[in-house]
Structure 1
Amino acid sequence: MPLQPGAILLGGFAAPEADQLLADIQRIEEANPFRRMVTPGGWQMSVAMTNCGEVGWVTDRSGYRYDWLDPETGEPWPAMPMSFRSMAERAAEVAGFTGFDPDSCLINRYEPGSRLSLHQDRNERDFDAPIVSVSLGLPATFLWGGVTRGDKPMRVRLLHGDVVVWGGPARLTFHGVDTLHGGASPAGSFRYNLTLRAAR
């Protein structure tokens, strides 16, 4: 389902491989546990996060950035699983973005009551590469906005296995996730989101 030029929802695209993706998330969590990071303004995020790949996205009082090392451990992030990379490359190609080469995956874990406010993905090295976002677990309401934070967002229901890809003219669109509701899912009482990017 097209969201706008350069952005598309691929319904159920990741569902056939969801079990493998969830197993790989568990392995990454064992090496780098989820944590609720702090924004530059000092607010603790309601979404728990970890990373894999060459660099990881982090936030603390010094700002938003990509870091080669996990600031909590001083160690490199876990390698990106082939299941993540393959899924992202194929989804990007289906969406019309060939040659996508992700080097970073931010993994968000939502629990009931957590949300992610409208924001842009703009800490990457350039904006030519798309963003690939994979939803697993509890359903969520994706907020797809506009070119400013004040633009009223479209509300898009995301289910287990859905993938959203955006780039080109949609690359800097504001987006977020509305407050998550409880329930049961293949991921238990959580929603996981894989956000794959060419960060460096």
Structure 2
Amino acid sequence: LNEHQSVFVKTICYRYSVDPNKRIECFPAPGTTQLASRCARVGCIYDERPELGIPACYFPRRSGYVKTGTTKDGVVLEGYPGVANPYGDNISPIFFNYSQIGSTVNIRIGPQGRYEPPLHLPRESYNTDAGFVVEQTTETGVFAFKVKRLSTNQSIWDTTIGGLMFSDQYIQIAAFIGSSEIYGIGEHAKYQLKVCCVVESNV
């Protein structure tokens, strides 16, 4: 270059995107208007030209809660800044803990003193050949946990997909699952443990 020549440098920055098959929709309500601006306002990522069936507005992988300590009530989780719950402010802190009753894994996530419906739920121990281990991880920069089968080390519930949200009227937990046949998620008074599960073709 000589003294009469100039150089124009253009820097293009791409925000970290998520594999289309691993996106968690930020505004799942159909017909949401002004989606791009609403998406940016809560810290989600907007895709101007998504493929058919792929969310246009979705949570970044690093969204949810971060581990800040451990107490007698469990792991202390504080809301991760930068990504807001689109349906109300996230409660922070919340607590994560788990226990095992025979072959059953009981995982609890929520704030202290949260109201629980007064249902009588049996707490007897049921032993089968199945055994499970719960692993905590921060591999994506936020708190996540995995439930693995001891006999095969197969992950059957993996929340590293992100997107944990916990507000007064909206609770969201997303996970990679090992099968479309799901039993025993949640505590309820039904006589059938099978959970209805619709697996999208792009998952």
- Structure number with the higher helix fraction is 1
Q: Whose radius of gyration is greater, 1 or 2?
A: 2
TM > 0.5: no
**What's the TM-score once normalised by structure 1's chain length?**
0.28
**What's the TM-score once normalised by structure 2's chain length?**
0.28
